[in-house]
Amino acid sequence: MTKMLTDARSIRIKGRSFLAVVLAPDLPFDDWLVRLDDLAARSAGFFLGRPVVLDVSDLPIDRAQLKDLITELAGRNVNIMGIEGGRPSILGPGMPPALKGGRPVSDEAVAKEPIIELRNGEAKPAAPEVRTALQSMLIREPVRSGQSVIFPEGDVTIIGSVASGAEIIAGGSIHIYGTLRGRAMAGSLGNASARIFCRKLEAELLAIDGIYKMAEDMAPGLRGQSVQLWLEGDSIIAEKLI
């Protein structure tokens, strides 16, 4: 008998983006691991609970060496979620998956501690925690198809429209004094209180804190309206602005 799918509840699939710490080891690994231990001793828990990606581009290593390195890292509680730049021949079953298409972000974006460059010898000492003032970005012209505005540091305000095929990614809120036809992703580094405001909603995709809504999921009554959007729990709530 074939199993019937009678459960009315649908499976929830959500897109989310996380900020990963990228470790780019160099050879010989033994020396590099010494520097890593040194860093870990000075900023305890730096890697704890963080997604860590291993960047092995341009490293002349084989599968056994990579496996050893991953084991060494696991022994230090650094769990690798993915490998970037690895030739297919050195990857394989039992290894973290290959990752592609990562985008660099500014150093301040990596939460409180600044990211530490381990590649070029001497590790810089971890800077004392500084709370930088909230930043904002103002754009005075339409954002055209194919352009993307990425501002992890804070809010983005656009005086003009955002075209179909354009995208705005902000660490904070997004304010659009025009029509939003493209994509807007607010709170991109994990900020559930970020909001999206636009004068006319025709968006292809909206996201707040990694929770997405596609055009077809939006209530038809909101199309063409002046709206604000925010997050309540795991759902995006929209309300007309008069």
Partner 1 sequence: MGKVIVVTSGKGGVGKTTSTAALGAALAQRNERVVVVDFDVGLRNLDLVMGAERRVVYDLINVIQGEAKLSQALIRDKRLETLFLLPASQTRDKDNLTPEGVERVITELKRVFDWVICDSPAGIESGATLAMRHADMAVVVTNPEVSSVRDSDRIIGLLDSKTMKAERGERMEKHLLLTRYDANRAERGDMLKVEDVLEILSIPLIGIIPESMDVLRASNIGAPVTLADARSAPAMAYFDAARRLAGEVLPITIPGEKRGIFGKIFARRAA
Q: Mark the segment that binds partner 1 (CB under 8 A) among 72-80, 149-157, 161-169, 212-220.
A: 161-169
Q: How many residues bind partner 1 (CB under 8 A)?
A: 13
Closest distance to partner 1 from the beta carbon of 133 (Å): 28
Min dist. Cβ of residue 147 to partner 1 (A): 5
Q: Which of residues 119-158 bind partner 1 (CB under 8 A)?
A: 141-142, 144-147
Q: Is 160 in the site for partner 1 (CB under 8 A)?
A: yes
Give the nearer residue to partner 1 in terms of CB position, either 51 or 160: 160
Q: Smallest Cα–Cα separation from 124: which of 29, 38, 34, 20?
A: 38
Q: Cα–Cα distance between 80 and 168 in angstroms, integer?
A: 29
CA distance 183 to 150: 12
Parallel, antiparallel, or unpaired for β 183-186 and 211-214?
A: unpaired
Where in 166-225 is the site for partner 1 (CB under 8 A)?
A: 179, 181
Please report, for residues 141, 148, 175, the alpha-carbon distance to residue 144 in angstroms, rounded to integers and kept in the order given. 9, 8, 16
Residue 167 dihedral angles phi and psi, to the nearest 5°? -140, 145
Residue type, 200: K
Candidate residues 79, 164, 225, 228; the one interacting with partner 1 per rule CB under 8 A: 164
At residue 236, what are phi and psi to the nearest 5 degrees?
-85, 125
- Closest to partner 1 by CB, 106 or 145: 145
Using CB under 8 A as the criterion, which residues of the chain lie in contact with partner 1 when the complex forms? 141-142, 144-147, 160-161, 163-165, 179, 181
